[in-house]
Amino acid sequence: MSGFHWYVVQSKPGQAARACAELENQGYDVFFPQVGVEKIKRGKRVEQIEPLFPGYLFIYLSEVESNWRPIRSTRGVARMVSFGNNPAIVPHNVVEALRSKLRSDKEPVHQLQVDQKVEIAEGPFRGLDAVFLQYDGEQRAFLLLELLGRWQKLSVDLKDIKAP
């Protein structure tokens, strides 16, 4: 399919998912990249799906063969992103790289349980065993570590912990 390129569509505030659905219903090839984001809600760690580029999505069109007119009047669509009078073209390899990265990131997230034994894999306490206490925000955890006969509470990056 020569002459086809990826273009950027800006959605109305909070309506990117609606714009994506409406464009797909009209037969357009649309890419709306979304990622899983970990959040702490009411003291519990939950994963939510959020847009990678809030308010923007990609559409695959041909300058000659595609009908561009319905796009601007589609529900949820604000406008086509343009530079001057020319719509912004996104290189194919950028969109394909995003797609492959998002596919590879869909591996399950390991959930730690209170009182679970863990090993500190990086940092000054590397190699020591600890006990998971609770999450400290989105990227850190509180651990209990026995040092000099006493339990010490410390905050560690989640990436530095591994469960045996």
Output phi, psi for 66, to 5 deg.
-85, 150
The beta-carbon contacts of 37-45 under 8 Å, at least 24 apart in sequence, are 38/109, 38/138, 39/138, 40/135, 40/137, 40/138, 43/134, 45/111, 45/135, 45/138
Report the pLDDT value the prediction gives residue 39, as an integer from 0 to 100: 79
Q: Where are the domains of the chain?
A: 4-104, 117-162
Q: Are 26 and 36 spatial neighbours (Cβ–Cβ below 8 Å)?
A: no
Give me the pLDDT at residue 70, please: 94
**What is the rounded CA–CA span in Å between residue 132 and residue 143?**
5
Structure tokens at 57: 């999505």
pLDDT digits (tens, 9 = 90+) for 99-141: 888 876 654 445 788 888 999 888 888 888 999 988 877 678 8
Average pLDDT, the chain: 87
With b for 16 or more beta-carbon neighbours within 10 A and e for fewer, the 53-68 pattern comes to eeebbbbbbeeeebee
**Do 55 and 48 contact (CB within 8 A), yes or no?**
no
Asked if residue 154 has pLDDT above 70, the reply is: yes
Q: What percent of the chain has pLDDT over 90?
A: 46
Task: Report the CATH number of the 117-162 domain.
Answer: 2.30.30.30
Report the candidate in 161, 164, 98 with the shortest Cα–Cα distance to residue 126.
Answer: 161
- Residue 77 has phi, psi (to 5 degrees) of -90, 130
Q: Is 112 in contact with 163 (CB distance < 8 Å)?
A: yes
Class of domain 4-104 as given by CATH:
alpha beta
The answer to whether the pTM exceeds 0.85 is no
Q: How many residues does the chain have?
A: 164
- Residue pLDDT, tens place only, 15-74: 999 999 999 999 999 999 998 887 778 877 777 888 999 999 999 999 888 889 999 899
pLDDT at 105: 62
